[in-house]
């Protein structure tokens, strides 16, 4: 679902809005000099971040632009659940791009963030949807023209708002 929201060409029909909301949330946790650009990103799912000859380590979502790479581990809680934070970071910074490793989750629990994951930025589903819905509501035609998509996104928000993501 969140890959769909982040995809500029998604059938949600709000173009780059999902990416912009997501990158703005990530940038809130970063210094101004390390802010990620608000430029179009390609979206890939299930990307192997391992170097040649290493065991595979599959990231759930990768956003890539001309100057930045964002590697996302999408899981119910904010932990790396066996994935390699350092490997994800190295993958994101390859080719001298600005890199970021993000834990996208329903519930944030800092105590679960170990083995480097304490350095990852956490973005919850609720925070994305809390920002996305008001943006969609600013366009009165959106809900009329995209009723199913709008209803689905509102339903997601109801599920994950106020800590109900469990």
Strand partners, 63: 43, 70
Pairing outcome for strands 68-77 and 98-107:
parallel
Closest CA to 124 of 40, 47, 26, 19: 26
Predicted confidence pLDDT, tens digits, the chain (166 residues): 999 999 999 999 999 999 999 999 999 999 888 899 999 999 999 999 987 788 889 999 999 999 999 999 999 888 888 898 999 999 999 999 999 999 999 988 888 888 889 999 999 999 999 999 999 999 989 999 999 999 999 999 998 887 665 5
What's this model's pTM, rounded to 2 decimal places? 0.92
């Amino acid at each position: 679902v969140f890959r769909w929201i982040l995809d500029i060409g998604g059938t949600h029909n709000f173009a780059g809005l999902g990416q912009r909301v997501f990158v703005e949330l990530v940038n809130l946790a970063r210094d101004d000099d390390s802010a990620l650009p608000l430029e179009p990103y390609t979206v890939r799912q299930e990307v192997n971040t391992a170097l040649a000859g290493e065991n595979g380590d599959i990231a759930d979502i990768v956003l890539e632009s001309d100057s930045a790479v964002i590697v996302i581990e999408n899981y119910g809680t904010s932990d790396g659940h066996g994935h390699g934070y350092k490997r994800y970071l190295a993958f994101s910074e390859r080719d001298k791009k600005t890199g970021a490793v993000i834990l996208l989750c329903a519930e944030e629990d800092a105590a679960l963030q170990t083995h480097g994951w304490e350095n990852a930025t956490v973005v919850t589903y609720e925070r994305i949807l809390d920002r996305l819905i008001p943006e969609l509501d600013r366009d009165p035609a959106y809900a009329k023209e995209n009723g199913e998509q709008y209803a689905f996104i509102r339903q997601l928000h109801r599920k994950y708002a106020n800590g109900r993501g469990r």
